[in-house]
Structure 1
Amino acid sequence: MLFERYLSTLVRPKKHLGQHFLRDLSIAERTAEAVQFRNSILEIGPGTGVLTRYLLDRTEDLRAVELDAESVDYLLGEGLLNQNQIIQADFLRLNLEPLFSQEFSLVGNFPYNISSQILFKVLENRPRIPECVGMFQKEVA
């Protein structure tokens, strides 16, 4: 409970971006544990980094795509990710080709307003993305 209150004072989810920050540590840990292909991982929408912390324990090649500048500043300020690991961009417009030289897993607590489009992009890039592990809102699933 204290951890949740601490996070809520730092970065607030922005409804217009479809953000809903993951706060449950056990869900974050189980999500990270579900990733089988761990050579390289791309996290979509790391927000406050709750899932990111568990993913960092499982791979040496983690990148994250975050549209929200406030979240990017927070992740960099906390030292959770460095400039080479975080990409401030819209995932749907991002060229995935130069991110990794090999296949990678896609992981995230997906923003509800672009969940379907994320799945379509994964399917379009299926040869490069052998695995997608993520959380969707009930309405999307």
Structure 2
Amino acid sequence: MSFKHKKKFGQNFLTDQNDVLNRIMEVSDVKEDEHIIEIGPGEGALTALLLEKAKNVTCIEIDTDLEKILTKKYASNPKFNLIMQDVLTVDLKNVLSKGRVVANIPYYITSPIINKIIENRDIISEMFIMVQKEVAERVCSKSGKERSVLTLAVEYYGEAEYLFTIPKAFFTPPPKVDSAFMSIKFYNDRRYEDRISESLFFKYVKAAFSNKRKNIINNLTTLGYSKDFIREKLEKLGISETERAENLTIEQFIDLAEIFEEE
């Protein structure tokens, strides 16, 4: 059955590159007692390997044309469960009680998918996902201009790791950019969530990043503070007023939020 790839679903399927698929399985280390969620299984190249290892595999797919292909291949396997729905509207808590995500996700909704999984971190302990290389670099960046609100959003809840690069030639149709496989493992100890509330933390992170071209003192004025007030607080923290948000660590952001809220 020949399948026509759809641009609207951002479909770039990994062709039969066994070394890449085996590497995915190796780094994600799927155990035989666990439930795996695969988002956007495509024609099921990775699904086959996940089914060999895991206790259960739930595939979430939006494209109805792929339903026949996936059903024909795997419906007879009792471990296989297919949900034909947009992953952004699926109630994941109805799908599984505890598990992990291992997937080559649709690139055009990377951030919403990451955010959706973060929201379900009480039932999803880790995600191993394939994304555009530049997105993985941004999420996993420890310092410098790649860092963004998304980087800090991930750091607040867990630890991101850049695992390996996949050249664009390994896909059909070939995308314009290379891909990367990365992981996000959520903290069990809620180390940052217990120190500062989500709303307070993101209030300062979003303000600090509100204009990438401006330094931190200018961006923080968007919260209604005077430059003198901001300057005084930054001085206490040992942060230069010409510093940019991308160079601050998560610890510095927490200290910054706390010192600004003292008044």
Common topology (TM > 0.5) = yes
Aligned to 1:34: 27
Q: Distance in 2 between matches of 1:25 and 1:11?
A: 20
TM-score, length-normalised on structure 1? 0.84
Maintained 8 Å contact 2:99/2:124: yes
Deviations 1:61-94 (A, max 9, x none): 111000011111101122x245961000000111
Maintained 8 Å contact 2:61/2:83: yes
Residue 130 of structure 1 aligns to a residue in which SS? strand
- My pick for the range that moved more, 26-35 or 104-113, is 26-35
- How far the C-alpha of 1:37 sits from its partner, in A, is 5.6
| Matched residues, number | 131
Question: Is 1:18 matched up with 2:10?
Answer: yes
Maintained 8 Å contact 2:30/2:53: no
Maintained 8 Å contact 1:112/1:140: no
Instruction: Give the helix-richer structure, 1 or 2.
Output: 2
**Higher radius of gyration, 1 or 2:** 2
- My pick for the range that moved more, 35-44 or 91-100, is 35-44
Q: Distance in 1 between matches of 2:67 and 2:21?
A: 19
Aligned to 2:54: 59
Aligned to 1:69: 64
Written as runs of structure 1 = structure 2, the 5 A alignment for 1:107-118 is 107-118=102-113
Unaligned 5+ runs, structure 2: 137-263
Maintained 8 Å contact 1:22/1:50: yes
Q: Distance in 2 between matches of 1:27 and 1:56?
A: 17
Residue among 84, 87, 108 paired with 1:88: 84
Residue 92 of structure 1 aligns to a residue in which SS? coil
TM-score, length-normalised on structure 2? 0.47
Q: Distance in 1 between matches of 2:25 and 2:107?
A: 20
Structure 1 residue identity aligned to 2:25: A
Instruction: Give the strand-richer structure, 1 or 2.
Output: 2
Unaligned 5+ runs, structure 1: 1-8
Aligned to 1:5: none
Matched residues, percent identical? 35
- Calculate the aligned-residue CA RMSD, in Å: 1.8
Deviations 1:30-77 (A, max 9, x none): 112222463110000000111111111111211100001111110112
Describe the shift of the 1:128–1:34 C-alpha distance in structure 2 as closer, same or farther (beyond 3 A).
same
Structure 2 residue identity aligned to 1:96: L
Residue 93 of structure 1 aligns to a residue in which SS? coil
